[in-house]
């Protein structure tokens, strides 16, 4: 599984980082540093879904 952030939509709500700061790293200002394609380690898929769903700006998605 891979996840991505659309940086033009990310507003630094930080909610993804609250779910899991390793899967959803944030930069120094609290913006998502997930980038255009980030690998989710095996076993962390459910957490990744939770983090993606927690973004109030809908900036995150699971890549097809």
Partner 1 sequence: MTVDLTAPAASADPYAVFEELRSTDPVHWSEAHRAWLITRYDDVSDAFRNKAFSNDRVRPVLARRREPSAASDVLGLLAGWMVVTDPPDHTRLRRLAAGAFKGQRIAVMGEQITAIVDSHIDGFLAGSGEQDLISEVAYPLPATVIATMLGAPPADRDRFREWSDELALVAFGTGGAARADRHERALRGLREMDTYFHTLVDHRRRDPGDDMLSALMARDGDDLLSDDELVAMCALLLFAGHETTTNSIANATLALLRHPGQLDRLRADPDLIGPAVEELLRFDGPIKVLNRWVVAETEVRGKRISPGERVHLVLASANRDPERFDDPDTLDLGRNPNPHIAFGKGIHACIGAQLARMETRIAVARIVERMPSLQLAEEPVWKDVLASRAMDRLVVRHL
Instruction: Please give the structure tokens belonging to residue 54.
Output: 């927690």
Alpha-carbon torsion, ordered 25, 31, 34, 40, to 10 deg: 50
> Residue 49 class from Cβ within 10 Å (0-12 exposed, 13-18 middle, 19+ buried)?
middle
Using the minimum distance from each CB to ligand SF4, give the nearer residue, 11 or 39. 11
Mask for 28-47, x = binds ligand SF4 (CB under 6 A): ---xx---------------
Per CB under 8 A, residues contacting partner 1 are 11-15, 17-21, 26, 28-30, 46-47, 50-51, 54, 56-58
Q: Which residues bind ligand SF4 (CB under 6 A)?
A: 5, 10-16, 31-32, 55, 57, 59-60
């Amino acid at each position: 599984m891979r996840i991505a952030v659309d940086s033009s939509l990310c507003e630094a709500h930080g909610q993804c980082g609250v779910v899991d700061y390793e899967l959803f790293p944030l930069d120094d200002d609290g913006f998502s540093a997930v980038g255009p394609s980030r690998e989710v380690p095996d076993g962390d898929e459910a957490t990744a879904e939770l983090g993606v769903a927690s973004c109030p700006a809908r900036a995150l998605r699971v890549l097809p």
